[in-house]
Amino acid sequence: MTEHTLTTEPAAGRPARAPVRSGLALAIILICQLMLILDATVMNVAIPRIQADLAFSPTGVSWVMTSYSLVFGGLLLLGGRAGDLFGRRRMFVLGTAVFTLASLAGGLAGSAELLIAARVAQGIGAAMAGPNTLALITTTFTEAKARMRALSLFSAMASGGFAIGLLLGGLLTEWISWRSALFINVPFGLAIVLLAPRFVPDPERRPAHLDLPGAIAGTLGVSALVFAFTHGGSDGWDNPVTLGSLGAGVLLLAGFLMLQARGSQPLVPLRLFAERNRAAAYANFFLGPMAMMSMFFFLTQFLQDVQHFAALQTGFAFLPMAAMVFALSRSIPRLLPRFGPKPLAITGTVLMIAGAGWLTQLTPSSGYVATLLGPMVLMGVGVGLAFSPLNVLIMTSVATEDAGAAGGVLQTMQQVGAALGLSILMTVSGSVTRSAAGSGVRGPQLMVDGMTAAFLGASLLAGLSFLVALTFRRQHTATS
């Protein structure tokens, strides 16, 4: 990463700041983002050991994962707007501090209840810091080429971080303990809290007020929907709690949209969706994770429960996919100005469809190299091409005062899309598994039948993302 200095305009009434080293500022922001994304999957491969150590019930242990995603996704809109109003760097540092303390508490947890509480607190901290990582990049890097490079690296962290979380979780669980997957956040979090006030510029704050009714309606609405999606995937879509949460979420979000349309300083300015390419980018940030998360979830199950991979082997199995995402993300600053978003998004989504479709051929005896490596490479290249440009499209086309809200909406789309997609595909998998069991199928084949049905569903979701990609307008992105 090239080191150079950035200067920022002083806010009214403040002394001018000294130049900051952009490489160090970007490293601080990206490490924070990677931490937040890692924790969505880092404990996935450790679930069997967590269940044994803390006496979780088979259904209760799923909340180790879903409690973090639920709170993170539900509070992102509020965290983004709070950064716009109260200071993006302040919210970034405060959120990282909360996340770090919660990670320490989770690593020390002696009971299932304490671990879940720590994961909830991690989600709160992540929702405070997450949207402001994007906003800080946008306001720190004002030169077009530097901003595009920074946003492309951010995309690599956001997309590849899920796979890296599985790799890191496998390493730490196998070599040390599942608790180390939480403890590892502590030194990095402390470093961010100490270094960010010195090296990350603090953008000027504009006088405004927080849309409290909108914040309540939006936060509760998104939280209710995320809860309904996760609960529906585990307990069924005909469950009264699932249906009640789904209905409440829809009503709250309808009220939220009415408040945003009428408010003078809304939590989510609806003008964010006025530009065609930005609206399509938001749509694909919702659809892409719906397809992608199934790969992590069901392939982890396949490798551990069918192929009997150890936690470490499972983590390394996802390394090719993460490598492809990072490699393509680094190429986006050259590819996007040359080709525009439409060809990249179309090519990427076609590769995702092919990768998910290939996985429908899984059998209990499928080998890693022959059957899994190819789809993982295709999905990694597809994600890198289809979704890495979306951060650039969204964050380079919004006004500075809307950067926090734009980042909050973007990450909300990602989190809610992942939760919804996984719950839908778990329902598909469960239905096929029950039907196959009724037909006399048993053993590993029963699990694989459910997984291949889920991968077929993932390919259909990727197909929807392809249709959205067709709507992109060709545009020339500035490079200087």
Rounded to whole angstroms, the Cα distance separating 308 from 232 reads: 28
User: Where does the pLDDT of residue 9 fall: very low under 50, low under 70, confident under 90, or very high at 90 and above?
Assistant: very low
Q: What pLDDT shows up at residue 159?
A: 65
Give 161-172 as a DSSP string. Answer: HHHHHHHHHHHH
Confidence band, pLDDT 50/70/90 cuts, at residue 351: very high
Angle between helix 276-301 and helix 403-438 axes, rounded to 10 deg = 40
Predicted pLDDT at 21: 65
Collapsing DSSP states into helix, strand and coil, what is residue 5? strand
Residue 305 neighbours by CB under 8 Å, 6+ apart: 444, 447
List pLDDT tens digits, range 94-127. Answer: 999 999 999 999 999 888 889 999 999 998 999 8
120 close to 157: Cβ distance less than 8 angstroms: no
Write down the pLDDT at residue 59: 60
* pLDDT tier for residue 353 given thresholds of 50, 70 and 90: very high
Indicate the pLDDT class of residue 480, thresholds 50, 70 and 90.
very low
Decide if pLDDT at 291 tops 60: yes
In angstroms, the CA 422 to CA 463 distance is 16
Q: Tell me what the mean pLDDT of segment 363-371 comes to.
A: 87
For residue 435, what are its two tokens? Answer: 């039907």
Neighbours of 144 (CB within 10 A): 15
Q: How is 348-390 classified by DSSP, letter by letter? A: HHHHHHHHHHHHTT--TT--IIIIIHHHHHHHHHHHHHHHHHH
pLDDT tens digit sequence for 420-452 = 787 788 778 878 888 888 787 777 888 888 889
Neighbours of 101 (CB within 10 A): 18
CA distance 306 to 365: 9
Measured distance CA(378)–CA(349) in Å, rounded? 10
Residue 63 above 50 pLDDT? yes
Q: What is the pTM of this model?
A: 0.76
Q: How many CB atoms lie within 10 A of CB 235?
A: 13
What is the mean pLDDT of the segment spanning 73-99?
84
Lowest mean pLDDT among 5-19, 47-61, 149-163, 246-260: 5-19
Helix-helix angle 22-38:185-199, to 10 degrees: 150
Q: What is the mean pLDDT of the chain?
A: 80
Residue 255 has pLDDT above 60, yes or no: yes
Dihedral angle, C-alpha 234, 239, 244, 247, nearest 10 °: 80
Q: Are 67 and 223 in contact (CB under 8 A)?
A: no
| Direct distance between the N- and C-terminal alpha carbons of the chain, in angstroms, rounded to an integer | 18
Decide if pLDDT at 18 tops 70. Answer: no
| Alpha-carbon gap, residue 55 to 27, rounded angstroms | 39
Q: Give, to the nearest 10 degrees, the angle between helix 212-235 and helix 240-262.
A: 150
pLDDT at 144 over 80: no
The mean per-residue pLDDT over the stretch 32-57 comes to 78
Percent of the chain with pLDDT over 70: 88
Angle formed by the axes of helices 63-86 and 212-235, to 10°? 160
pLDDT at 464 over 70: yes
Residue type, 5: T
